Structure 1
Amino acid sequence: MKPIRDEHLAEPGLVVVDVAAADDDTALAFQAALAERWATATDDRTSRIPGEPGVRLRCYLDLRQPTGP
């Protein structure tokens, strides 16, 4: 995964979430659940590390901007 940069966490309430999951569907479902609650910069694909099990996904949340209940 790419490094986390200062601008990703420049203010309180900004969060970087790195997800490790068994499969694409699980990682994307978790991301969708986050996006239902907070403003989220989503990704539409996961990444794999050769020789390691599962998939990885990174998304960015702004907890200052709730989108749901």
Structure 2
Amino acid sequence: MNPYSVENFGDRRGVMGCVRPINEAHVTESGLAVVDIAAADDETVFAVQELLAGRWAIAPADRTTREPGEPGVRLRCFLDLRQASGV
């Protein structure tokens, strides 16, 4: 069974079609990553971001976004896997 089938997503072409495009500068080198986190509430997405920040260098987000008609909240942060966290 295809989890991305039309039955699961209707006529939508992608799971996250409403998310901002990734800026090319954020992924210009190996080891740089853009992480989009989606969860039911702000506390959960910030907890996930904090877990990532405990392991790697991160440019954290300070607020979440809500998309009209979509459940939950989203947060985008930027990681540098080449550098361990200073925490």
TM tier, smaller: over 0.9
Shift of 1:32: 0.5
1:29 aligns with 2:41: no
2:3 is matched with which residue?
none
1:5 aligns with 2:10: no
Structure showing greater relative contact order (alpha-carbon pairs closer than 8 Å, 6 or more residues apart) = 1
Moved more, 13-22 or 59-68: 59-68
Unpaired runs of at least 5, structure 2? 1-18
Q: How many residues align?
A: 68
Q: After TM superposition, list the pairs within 5 Å mapping 1:1-69 onto structure 2.
A: 1-67=19-85
- Aligned-residue RMSD, C-alpha: 1.1
Render the CA deviation track for 1:7-54: whole Å, top value 9, x for unaligned. Answer: 110000000000111100000000010001000000111000011110
Following TM superposition, the consecutive aligned residue runs of length 4 or more in structure 1 with deviations greater than 3 angstroms are none
1:11 partner SS: coil
Q: Indicate the structure (1 or 2) with the bigger Cα radius of gyration.
A: 2
TM-score by length of 2: 0.74
Render the CA deviation track for 1:44-65: whole Å, top value 9, x for unaligned. Answer: 1100001111000000000000
1:49 partner SS: coil
Shift of 1:2: 2.5
